[in-house]
Amino acid sequence: MTASAPLPDAEPTNWVDAYAPAALRPWLKLGRFDRPAGIWLLMLPGWQGIALAGAMQGRLPDPVLLLLFFLGAALMRAAGCAYNDIVDRDIDAKVARTAMRPVASCQISVKQAWAFVLGCCLASLVILLALPPLCWALGVLSLGLVAAYPFMKRITWWPQAWLGLTFNWGALMGYAAAAHIPEMLMAGRLYGVAPEVVLTTTLLPALLLYLGGVAWTLGYDTVYAIQDLEDDALAGVKSSARRLGDAAPRAVFIFYAVAAVLPAVAVATGRLGPFVYAGLALYAAHLLAWQATRVRTDDPALALKLFRSNTWAGLILFLAIAAGAF
């Protein structure tokens, strides 16, 4: 494979390789802009949190917040991928699917990659400061999850679970951005409701949505890891797919079942309107019937196809939650 060729997990006709100037392609690939599925998978939990907060108050998601979370997700995903490539450059060079990534293949130096990370983080900071102060604290807390993630494959068989904690943090941030929690606390004080009661009532649906997202990511990233079973074994990299072995398809079904149940409990706790449940049924069908029943450990191409379909699954859940406003 040449440095200018599309990477193995990118669409052969992706826009970066098809249209971007040659000098920019390594930088865009460093941020994974040739593989946009990750942007969606990072963004959609945030959109779902925004939709949940809005639906609990009988309104549709704020389009400005949706735009801010889209931009923030694109930038932070790019920063996280570049950081991951810096940390994993020696491992990536040993794995066929990742050997031609820009840092591992020396198209971009480590110092240049760090500059890219810093630039994306500074741009993300501008977006973060446009959100309510509670989101600032949540954003800072997320950095610990992001920083630790690349090392998880070295110390645990379940780096996919850590990715779930990281990628779905946006559900909490989106909810915090849209729920007007300080105003809720003031209203509770006005009516004599204890702050802990207000917080428990208002935050529980968001927490359940977040945990459902963690299970969702554990499922789809286990599917994704099926592509690297042989190479990961040779490189000594741990993953849930390696740990589960032939039991991976059954485990994915369980992970997806949890991912379908917890959002249903979240919207019931938040007392959303009845239209949400039709969407939740479609979401569950996508995860369990379309994906989990088709997973095979001996078919990497199918694994990549099923993984990519999770952008549709997340979008279905977002639309279902938004419909709960009625």
284-326 tens-digit pLDDT: 999 999 999 999 999 999 999 999 999 999 999 999 999 999 9
Hey, how many other C-beta atoms are within 10 angstroms of the C-beta on 129?
Answer: 11
Tell which phi-psi region holds residue 20, choosing left (phi > 0), alpha (psi between -120 and 50) or beta: beta
Spell out the domain ranges in the chain. Answer: 15-323
**Tally of residues, the chain:** 326
**Sign of the C-alpha dihedral computed for residues 292, 166, 83 and 232 taken in this order:** negative
DSSP 60: P
pTM reported for the whole predicted model: 0.91
What mean pLDDT value characterizes the chain? 92
More confident residue, 312 or 193: 312
Fold of the domain spanning 15-323? Tetracycline Repressor; domain 2 (1.10.357)
- Specify the residue for token string 């779905």: 168
For residue 191, pLDDT over 60 is answered with no
Beta-carbon count within 10 A of 121 CB: 18
